[in-house]
Homo-oligomer: A and B are copies of this chain.
Amino acid sequence: MAAQSFEALFGSIVADIDADMQAARAAQTPIAPILWEIIDYQFGWDLDDSAAARRVSGKKIRPLLMALVAQAIGGRYEHVLPAGTALEFIHNFTLIHDDVMDKSQERRHRPTVWTRWGAYQAINAGDGLYALGNLAVTRLEALGTPPARIVGVMRSLAQACLWTAEGQMLDMDFETRERVATADYITMVANKSATLIESAAYCGALLSTDDPAIVDAYARFGRSLGIAFQIRDDYLGVWGDEAVTGKSATSDIHEKKKSYPVLVAFEQADASDRAALDRIYGQETLSGADVEAVLAILARVDAAAQTDRIASEYYDAALAHLERTGIRGAAQDLIRQYAAFLVRRAY
């Protein structure tokens, strides 16, 4: 844990992002009240108590990264807020749809949208939120952003969304496969989880400099960081501290998620352990003894160290790209602290 909390370092930027999101929402005249109820619920805008609202509104790590990059390059971030708002809307559209498909019951300490409004209205709300995200981008025009840059932001967001959808399709496809190579898994993660983070860094830079080398370096930083972030998530899903993460340790094993550590085990276990894994993962649900058996196999192939190593490799690559931007100063250091929060986190 860093000396200063996430809230202390980034809370005021996150509050500015939230205010811009609310402004983008207020710019629309509601037609179907249910859409706006769902949107208000998703972002905690239905709650009067601001502490409670913060608890359910999410950390906004993508628009935050966009703002931090803009600040590092040009000392300010107000000019990127509509793009950050778009990205957060788009990210949440994917969450609402993913929760339907994963049958997830809870998101940010509250019931998921589909459990309250049904799967179909959740699909519609996700579609509407994606459209609202696209509309939010056009709000850059009112800030005097050159239209060619706005088109660049739109291209980046659309490409990231396409890749996110493809990553999600690969992920669902993997669930039904008997074997998934760790390399294919990384491809999936690089698309499903990293492209929106890459787009955040890219857009923050694109809206703040004309130097394509700087934009490219920040984009690569974002992509590597996004992959490291997801692998770290996989690590915490097996060996995380329940008291810190808020979800039970080994929860990913219980849910039979074929996350990175498990795929390492499938690839590297000896014949008898592999047979045991096949038997265990061939069942509908796992017993406590099954989970213990999987943990023992993970220990024998040292999956924890390998998972940690691959996350570190991507993290180091991210920091090298960050160095390559050539940007220096306190605001750039803040990006390093942000990256550490994402990948060195225990939560």
Neighbouring B residues of A173 by C-beta, 8 Å = 32, 34
Which residues of the partner chain B approach A150 to less than 8 Å between Cβ atoms?
147, 151
Closest residue of chain B to A137 (Cβ to Cβ) is B154
Interface majority SS (helix, strand, loop, mixed), chain A: helix
Q: Which of A127, A141, A147, A170 has the most CB of B within 10 A?
A: A127
Across-interface contacts of A30 in B (CB, < 8 A): 166
When each residue 8-20 of chain A gets 1 if its CB lies under 8 Å from chain B and 0 otherwise, what string results?
A: 0000000000000
Minimum C-beta distance from A103 to chain B (A):
10
Give the interface residue-count category, chain A.
Answer: 35 or more
Roughly how many angstroms separate A49 CA and B165 CA in the complex, as a whole number?
Answer: 30
CA distance A222 to B167 in the complex (A): 37
Q: Does A162 contact B (CB under 8 A)?
A: yes
Q: Which single member of B31, B130, B158 contacts A191 (CB below 8 Å)? A: B31
The contact of A123 among B28, B101, B121, B191, by CB within 8 Å, is B101
State whether B151 touches A138 (Cβ < 8 A): yes
Contact B151–A134 (Cβ < 8 Å) = no
Once A121-B169, A141-B151 are accepted as A-B contacts, the answer to whether A128 and B162 lie under 8 Å apart by CB is yes
CB contact between A31 and one of B35, B147, B155, B163 (< 8 Å): that residue: B163
* A134 close to B147 (CB less than 8 A): no
Which residues of chain B have C-beta atoms less than 8 A from A166's C-beta? 30-32, 35, 128
Contact A168–B130 (Cβ < 8 Å): no
Alpha-carbon separation in the docked complex, A240 to B169 (Å): 40
Provided the pairs A28-B162, A31-B191, A147-B148 are in contact, do residues A155 and B169 lie with their beta carbons within 8 angstroms? no
Contact present for A135 and B155 (CB under 8 Å):
yes
Residue A301 CB within 8 A of the other chain: no
Chain B residues within an 8 Å CB radius of A262:
none
Q: Does A288 contact B (CB under 8 A)?
A: no
Complex partner residue of A135 from B100, B162, B168, CB under 8 angstroms: B162
A-B contact pairs, 16 of them (CB 8 A): A31-B187, A32-B165, A32-B170, A34-B173, A100-B120, A100-B123, A120-B172, A126-B127, A127-B161, A127-B165, A128-B165, A128-B166, A131-B164, A132-B158, A138-B155, A147-B150
17 extra interface residue pairs, beta carbon distance < 8 Å, beyond A93-B127, A127-B161:
A30-B166, A31-B187, A32-B165, A32-B166, A32-B173, A34-B173, A35-B165, A35-B166, A124-B172, A127-B130, A132-B158, A134-B158, A135-B155, A137-B158, A138-B154, A141-B148, A147-B148
